[in-house]
């Protein structure tokens, strides 16, 4: 009888520990916010640029004619005008015109960049990109696993400890 209870408590502890780990992974993975495809960078002419990022001159607000190194081996090329990454040509024109107006004082300061990011956020939403957690249901499911499995794990470990103490005392009495 005691062996069966100990074995059941042990299996419950193992399963509960696995559920806590699995739930934690789901919770974290479901809560992580993915990096947006809509990126705006700031720099000076002739700076290197990342692919699929709209770069603005930090002094003039104009679109930079910077070099873009492609992911596949190929020559460097200059990119200016037209669509950039997920931005359509109209999006680029809107952002550049606003940035140029904001840079009339000679630079794009933090408040100017905040206004530009607000435009980018509006474009992101209008094009249907989600900026929230990857999977709210995955995060909820992970929290549920953790919420149920943690007390089971603690209870089964306490039961194993109590059975171990009881067994040791029983042996000492003999």
pLDDT in tens, 113-139: 899 988 988 888 887 776 554 556 666
Extract the tokens encoding 98.
Answer: 């606003």
Extract the tokens encoding 49.
Answer: 């640029």
Residue with tokens 């930090």: 58
Q: pLDDT value at position 60? A: 84
Q: Is 70 exceeded by the pLDDT of residue 104?
A: yes
CA distance 122 to 116: 10
Q: pLDDT value at position 140? A: 73
Q: pLDDT value at position 78? A: 38
What is the full DSSP assignment across 76-101? -EEE-SS-BTTB-HHHHHHHHHHHHH
Q: Is 60 exceeded by the pLDDT of residue 3?
A: yes
Q: In the structure, what pLDDT confidence band is assigned to residue 163 with cuts at 50, 70 and 90? A: confident
DSSP tag of 168: H
CB 37 within 8 A of CB 125: no
pTM given for the model: 0.49
CB 124 within 8 A of CB 35: no
Alpha helix (H) ranges present in 103-130? 110-126
pLDDT in tens, 45-92: 666 666 667 888 888 888 876 544 444 433 333 344 566 767 788 888
pLDDT in tens, 14-56: 888 887 777 777 766 665 555 677 788 888 766 666 666 788 8
104 versus 25: which is more confidently predicted?
A: 104
Q: pLDDT value at position 76? A: 34
């Amino acid at each position: 009888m005691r062996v069966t209870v100990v074995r059941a408590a042990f299996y419950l502890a193992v399963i509960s520990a696995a559920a806590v780990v699995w739930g934690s992974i789901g919770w974290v993975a479901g809560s992580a916010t993915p990096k947006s495809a809509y990126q705006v960078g700031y720099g000076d002419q002739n700076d290197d640029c990342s692919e699929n990022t709209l770069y603005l001159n930090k002094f003039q607000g104009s679109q930079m004619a910077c070099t873009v190194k492609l992911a596949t081996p190929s020559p460097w090329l200059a990119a200016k005008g037209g669509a950039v990454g997920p931005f359509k040509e109209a999006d680029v024109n809107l952002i550049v015109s606003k940035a140029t107006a904001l840079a009339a004082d000679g630079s794009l300061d933090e408040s100017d960049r905040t206004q530009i990011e607000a435009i980018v956020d509006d474009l992101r939403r209008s094009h249907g990109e989600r900026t929230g957690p990857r999977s709210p249901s995955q995060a909820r499911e992970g929290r549920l696993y953790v919420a149920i499995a943690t007390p089971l794990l603690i209870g089964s470990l306490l039961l194993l400890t109590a059975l171990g103490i009881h067994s040791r005392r029983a042996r000492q009495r003999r």
